[in-house]
Amino acid sequence: MCGIAGLIHRGKSSNVGSELQGMLQALKHRGEDSTGYALYGDTDGKNFIMRFKVGENVGEGSSSVMEDVSVYDERKKIVDETLAEMGAKIVKEERTLPYSLRYEIDYNVKDLLEFSQRIESIPGVEILSMGKSLEVIKDLGNAKMVCDRYSLDKVVGTHAIGHARMATESGVDIKSAHPFWGYPFSDVSVVHNGQLTNYWNNRRVLENKGMRFMSECDSELIAVYLAEKMRDGATLEEGMKASLTGLDGVFTYFVATKDSLGMAKDTMAAKPLVLYESDDLVAMGSEEIAIRSVLPQEIDTYDPFDGEVKVWQI
Amino acid sequence: MANLKTVSKKSKAQSMGMHTEVLTGRTQQKFFNPDEAENFYYFGTYDVDFNKRTELDVKDMTAPEANKEIDNLMSQGYGTIVIKNPQGKHSLGVGILNKLNLIFEGSLGYFGMGSCDGPIVRINGRVGWSCAENLMAGKVVIEKNAGSCFGAAIRGGDLICKGSVGARTGIDMKGGTIIIGGDAGAFTGFMMQRGRIIILGDVGINLGDSMYDGTIFVGGEIGSYGSDAVDSELTSSDQDWLKRKLKVAEIGENFDVSKMKKIVAGKKLWNYDNLEPTEKKGAI
């Protein structure tokens, strides 16, 4: 059991960091092994924002192996050198935690595949997100712990999706935490509640087509599956509709891009989702109490039906 | 005991000490004697006065605290209780075994009104998954939409949603009536064993999948039929019953019930005439 939540403000920005924290914290009983945020903040859109990790959190029930901080420093140094070799200029650098970094990069390229492959060829380094608006922040613990650790409550933006995880299929670590970046597409992220039963079959096919998996978490398949569809020219919505039959198992998932937010529910409707929709706000979560944290007044909500796909624009 | 090898199939169960139902595992039988009524005690019930009314604001309460306070108010004789600010909390109003007018001014989360026996409930909002699960008797009315597993395993009572409901409505139900004013999702009536479901709108795929018994009435389009769910003739007595039921439910009063579809079990998935394995043993 995991919990997912998402919201999109249409026509305006809001304090999405704080709002999503409230929604995910309301769902913490669905799992607090790890919590992840995909925040689409207000930026000038000039530079790429790269969130990446050079190690794992080894506290709070982690299944990861402890490493010396000097190893993280060494990996960071190699990342910096690699960026310089590729002609990418680090405009701003933040190191929130020894293993977690945020770079603003001046880099003029459309295809992030080669860029990502170069960075992730460095052992122990994983890009959590890459985009001009998207920032994926995920770590062990519940929503408040992660929000406080990364000071997310002040992030202003248009939309966000998040995930409260109870680890069942893979380890308690950051690499298996949601959201997953839609590698190598800029500003694409995915969260999922459920279980995919044809993960390995799909993974084999997609890896043969050159797609990359970083974890053994079945949910990562959704991000890779959609990325592959979009690489072949499909729109996001077309990819999501294809996933209803291409993915086997039970699932409700959210996917977000720079200017849109979508949801898909499997044909058995086995996983919950409650949805609120108005002209200026869409909020949804695994349980109504998530929505209540941002809209405490009486509102009209509903459960999307089986096999339903919806996409909203900002 | 009669010789089980020679008695007719019909009387085998009675010869084995059973009466009208062929069930295994029954270790005791209780018979209610009306003369003993004054000695009959139903745990968790109170004498309440429907004219004695109060309000309860549960905004800052947890679900167990709210449920305990409802029980406390019933013990004081309150027969009409209005719950303010439920705010989507889970498991509110569960386990009420009393006659009671209960009104929620807002929406409930998961498992609202579960395992109840007797209350008349109106929810002026929506409900999450598994509303009124295991309802034994009474009436629960939801003014807006409901989540999945609506009325799972109910045994009796009327469960009414004026809006639309999610998937698996009436799953495993064993009695009672579920009435939906809007649409219903996939697997409606999944494995239902008795009772009736009325849907005025459309219904999703696999309607009545693996149903053992019971009846489903659908006013709109059907996504697809589930295994062993088949059409049946809508009789005039069905139509009379539907009209009465919809009138009492305060929805679809002008709905043309004559055009509704009636779905029942084909009864091909299992053999009603077969004895259970232990009964077979006894009969040999």
Is the pLDDT at B3 greater than 90? The verdict is: no
Range with the poorest average pLDDT among A228-237, B46-55, B103-112, B157-166: A228-237
The reply to whether B128 touches chain A by the CB within 8 Å rule is yes
Which value, in Å, is the radius of gyration of the alpha carbons in chain B?
21
Q: What is the pLDDT of residues A166-198, one digit of tens each?
A: 887 777 888 889 999 988 888 999 999 999 999
Which of A272, A296, A299 has its CB closest to that of B147?
A272
Find out if CATH 2.160.20.60 is the number for domain B48-283: yes
Q: Which of A168-177, A231-240, B108-117, B193-202 has the lowest mean pLDDT?
A: A168-177
pLDDT tens-digit readout, B127-168: 999 999 999 999 999 999 999 999 999 999 999 999 999 999
Residue B193 has pLDDT above 90, yes or no: yes
Contact B90 A301 (CB under 8 A): no
With a pLDDT cut of 70, the percent of chain B lying above it is 81
Rounded mean pLDDT of A297-306?
91
**Of residues A129, A160, A154, A156, the one with CA closest to residue A37:** A160
pLDDT value at residue A108? 85
pLDDT, residue B185, reads 95
Contact list, A307 vs chain B (CB under 8 Å): 186, 205
The percentage of residues in chain A with a pLDDT greater than 90, rounded to a whole number, is 75
Compute the C-alpha angle B58/B62/B67, nearest 5°: 70
The nearest CA of chain B is from the CA of A270 a distance in Å of 8
CA–CA dist B155, B130 (Å, integer) = 14
Inter-chain residue contact B128 with A274, CB threshold 8 Å = yes
Which one, of A269, A253, A280, lies nearest residue A304 by Cα? A269
Res. B280 pLDDT band, cuts 50 70 90: low
Among candidate residues A210, A206, A196, the one with its CA nearest the CA of residue A247: A196
Lowest mean pLDDT among A128-132, B25-29, B255-259: B25-29
Task: Name chain A contacts of B145, Cβ cutoff 8 Å.
Answer: 300-303
Contact (Cβ atoms closer than 8 angstroms) between residue B132 and residue B140: yes
Is A2 an annotated catalytic residue?
A: yes
For residue B275, name the pLDDT band (cuts at 50, 70, 90).
Answer: low
Residue closest to B198 by CA, chosen among B120, B236, B252: B252
* Domains parsed from chain A with CATH numbers: 3-313 (3.60.20.10)
**Cα–Cα distance, A207 to B45 (Å, whole number):** 63
Residue A172 has what pLDDT? Answer: 85
- Chain B CB contacts of A296 under 8 Å are 87
User: Which 79-108 residues of chain B touch chain A by CB within 8 A?
Assistant: 87-90, 106-107
B82 vs A210, residue with greater confidence: B82
Please report the pLDDT score of residue B23 as a whole number.
Answer: 46
The pLDDT confidence band at residue A3, using thresholds 50, 70 and 90, is very high
Per-residue pLDDT reduced to its tens digit, B215-224: 999 999 999 9
Supply the pLDDT for residue A220.
87
Q: Nearest-CA neighbor of A75 among A135, A105, A120? A: A120
Residues of A in contact with B164 (CB under 8 A): 302
pLDDT at B126 over 70: yes
Q: Please compute the mean of the pLDDT values over residues B70-82 and round it to a whole number.
A: 96
Tens of pLDDT, residues B44-59: 789 999 999 999 999 9
Chain segment A70-104, per-residue pLDDT in tens = 999 999 999 999 999 999 999 999 999 999 999 99
DSSP states along chain B: ---TTTS-HHHHHHHTT--SS--SS--------GGGGGG---TT----EEEEEEEEE-TT--HHHHHHHHHHHHHTTEEEEEEE--TT-SSTTTT--S--EEEEES---TTTTTT-EEEEEEESS-B-TTTTTT--EEEEEESS-B-SSTTTT--SSEEEESS---SSTTTT-EEEEEEESS-B-TTTTTT--EEEEEESS-B-SSBTTT--S-EEEESS-BS-B-TTEEEE---HHHHHHHHHHHHHHTS-TT--GGG-EEEEE---SS-TTPPPHHHHHHH-
Question: A288 to chain B: nearest residue by CA?
Answer: B88
Q: What are phi and psi of A188, to 5 degrees?
A: -110, 130
The pLDDT of residue B19 is above 50: no
Q: Place B41 in a pLDDT band, splitting at 50, 70 and 90.
A: low
* Mean per-residue pLDDT, B238-242: 95
In this prediction, residue B89 has a pLDDT band, given cuts at 50, 70 and 90, of: very high
CB atoms within 10 A of CB B47: 10
The region of weakest confidence among A182-196, B15-29, B114-128, B250-264 is B15-29
Q: Is the dihedral of CA A288, A293, A294, A299 positive or negative?
A: positive
Confidence band of B10 (pLDDT split at 50, 70, 90): low
- Interface check B145 vs A, CB under 8 A: yes
Domain ranges of chain B: 48-283
How large is the average pLDDT for residues A220-236?
90
Q: Which residue's structure tokens are 């122990």? A: A124
Among the ranges given (A219-223, B32-36, B238-242), the one the predictor scored with the smallest mean pLDDT: B32-36
Cα dihedral sign for A134, A135, A140, A142? negative
Q: Give the residue-averaged pLDDT of B233-251.
A: 94
CA B109 – CA B89 distance, rounded (Å): 5
What pLDDT is stored for residue A44 in this prediction? Answer: 87
Whether the CB of B201 is below 8 Å from some CB of chain A: the reply is no
pLDDT at A65: 75
Indicate which residue of A2, A217, A240, A263 is catalytic: A2
pLDDT higher than 80, residue B267? yes
Q: What secondary structure letter does DSSP report for A239?
A: H
**ipTM of the complex, rounded to two decimals:** 0.79
Q: Is B22 left (phi over 0), alpha (psi -120 to 50) or beta?
A: beta
pLDDT at A128: 95
Residue B26 pLDDT: 45
